[in-house]
């Protein structure tokens, strides 16, 4: 079952933090020395990132990023109508970030700040897991009053990254505005520690505003407290129209009105880096829903996008990968 969005609504609006990714490959001992749990996201000061980056074996690779931005870029590269709403500094990193949005087919809806553009040091361990240290910078200054109806014009789906839960007033402004626009509201739970630290707020938001809820196994367990996948998915789906449980290399489960879809993983390659895997999965899935695909076909497209991004370092799929995805779309 696909969602009905109306003939004049095809835009996918992604709202989140405008961040530049700094990618570094390190062993588990690096994380242990930093006192970070693998797979977590920790908010830190800019100086902390600079100090930690100076300790990496090689200088980090720098690319545009941020969860919602990655999803917007994926939708744009699929040929969808994509918009990103966020806030950045008018500095060199901000210029690089905006130019990259346009390059990836995304319409920027950006607010300016005198603060530096935010950044994330993403540490990639040999098992391809990424652990993030985030300095929000200008992204933290996006204010509730800046979220207006214009942000969501013609939106079929508004996709919100779970990291906004760390800013409750902003999160409420976004989900209320998105819901008032008539769009479906999609929420990616982002990280298990985000869920753990924001559970009360998350419960209220899901019940009142969210139509599409996306989680991986760790995030779903943090939200439901249930390890059994089918039972956890049922709890995720209680108050939303569509619930997604991503199970890593085993694929994903999708539950919606009258339909349950089991989507197998795509491809047999080993992951190089899981940065952006969930974000690109969401891009393919939401693109499919907006264009009338079934849950199974939308999930398969999400799986293809998630697989391809795991074959590169960072959250940007190469042209060869996009060609393979487009051939699947054409088929």
Lowest pLDDT segment from 62-66, 213-217, 260-264, 318-322: 62-66
| pLDDT at res. 145 | 97
CATH no. for residue 207? Answer: 3.40.1190.20
Residue 215 has pLDDT above 90, yes or no: yes
Q: How confident is the model at residue 182 (pLDDT cuts 50, 70, 90)?
A: very high
Nearest to 130 by CA among 267, 264, 247, 25: 25
Q: Is the pLDDT of residue 73 over 60?
A: yes
- Would you say residue 3 lies in a domain? no
Task: Quote the pLDDT of residue 315.
Answer: 84
Instruction: Report if residue 2 sits inside a domain.
Output: no
307 touches 266 (CB < 8 A)? yes
pTM: 0.89
* Average model confidence (pLDDT) across the chain: 92
Structure tokens, 315: 């959250």
| pLDDT single digits (tens) 20-66 | 889 899 999 999 999 999 988 898 999 999 999 999 999 998 877 89
Report how far apart, in Å, the C-alpha atoms of 174 and of each of 7, 165, 170, 199, 300 are.
24, 11, 6, 18, 29
- Contact (Cβ atoms closer than 8 angstroms) between residue 190 and residue 167: no
- Confidence at residue 62, expressed as pLDDT on a 0 to 100 scale: 82
Residue 277, pLDDT above cutoff 80: yes
Q: Characterize the bridge pairing of strands 130-135 and 41-43.
A: parallel
Query: Rounded to an integer, what distance in angstroms lies between the CA atom of residue 16 and that of residue 259?
Result: 30
Is the pLDDT score of 268 beyond 80? Answer: no
Average pLDDT over residues 107-124: 94
Encoded tokens for 284: 């393919």
* Residue 6 falls inside a structural domain: no
- Looking at residue 92, what DSSP letter applies? H
Q: What is residue 271's predicted lDDT score, i.e. its pLDDT?
A: 79
**Which pLDDT score, from 0 to 100, does residue 179 have?**
97
7 has pLDDT over 70:
no
3-state secondary structure (DSSP) of residue 327: helix
pLDDT band at 253 (very low <50, low <70, confident <90, very high): very high
Q: Which domain holds residue 284?
A: 11-330
CA 216 to chain centre: 12
Q: How many domains is the chain partitioned into structurally? A: 1
130 pLDDT above the threshold of 80: yes
> Could you tell me which of 201, 135, 210 has the C-alpha nearest to residue 178?
210
Given a cut of 80, whether residue 6 has pLDDT beyond it is: no
Of residues 220 and 312, more confidently modeled? 220
Q: What is the pLDDT of residue 5?
A: 57
Does the pLDDT of residue 9 top 90, yes or no?
Answer: no
How confident is the model over 219-245, as pLDDT tens digits? 999 999 999 999 999 999 999 999 999
Residue 144 lies in a domain: yes
Q: CA-CA distances (angstroms) from residue 145 to 159, 168, 181?
A: 19, 13, 16
Report whether pLDDT(2) > 70.
no
Look at residue 65 in the predicted model and tell me its pLDDT.
85
Q: What pLDDT score was predicted for residue 313?
A: 80
pLDDT band (50, 70, 90) for residue 96: confident
**What H or E segment, with its residue span, contains residue 314?**
none
254 occurs within a structural domain: yes
Q: What percentage of the chain carries pLDDT values higher than 90?
A: 76
């Amino acid at each position: 079952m696909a969602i009905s969005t109306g003939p004049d609504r095809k835009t996918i609006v992604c709202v989140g933090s405008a961040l530049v990714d700094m990618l570094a490959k390190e062993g588990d001992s690096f994380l242990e020395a930093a006192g970070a749990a693998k797979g977590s996201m920790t908010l830190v000061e800019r100086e902390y990132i600079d100090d930690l980056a100076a300790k990496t074996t090689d200088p980090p690779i720098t690319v545009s990023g941020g969860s919602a931005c990655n999803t917007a870029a994926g939708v744009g590269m699929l040929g969808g109508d994509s918009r990103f709403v966020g806030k950045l500094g008018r500095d060199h990193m901000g210029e690089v970030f905006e130019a990259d949005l346009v390059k990836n087919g995304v319409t920027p809806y950006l607010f300016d700040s005198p603060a530096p553009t935010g950044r994330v040091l993403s540490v990639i361990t040999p098992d391809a897991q990424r652990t993030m240290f985030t300095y929000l910078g200008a992204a933290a200054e996006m204010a509730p009053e800046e979220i207006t109806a214009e942000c969501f014009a013609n939106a079929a789906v508004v996709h919100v990254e779970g990291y906004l839960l760390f800013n409750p007033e902003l999160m409420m402004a976004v989900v209320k505005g998105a819901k008032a626009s008539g769009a479906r509201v999609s929420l990616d739970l982002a990280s298990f520690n985000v869920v753990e630290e924001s559970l009360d707020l998350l419960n209220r938001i899901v019940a009142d505003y969210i139509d599409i809820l996306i989680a991986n196994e760790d995030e779903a367990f943090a939200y439901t407290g249930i390890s059994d996948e089918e039972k956890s998915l049922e709890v995720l789906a209680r108050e939303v129209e569509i619930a997604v449980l991503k199970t890593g290399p085993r694929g994903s489960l999708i539950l919606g009105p009258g339909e349950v879809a089991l989507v197998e993983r795509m491809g047999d390659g080993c992951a190089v880096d899981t940065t952006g895997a969930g974000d690109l999965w969401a891009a393919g899935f939401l693109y499919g829903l907006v264009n009338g695909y079934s849950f199974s076909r939308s999930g398969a497209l999400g799986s293809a996008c998630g697989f391809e991004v795991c074959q590169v370092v960072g959250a940007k799929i190469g042209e060869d990968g996009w060609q393979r995805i487009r051939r699947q779309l054409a088929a």
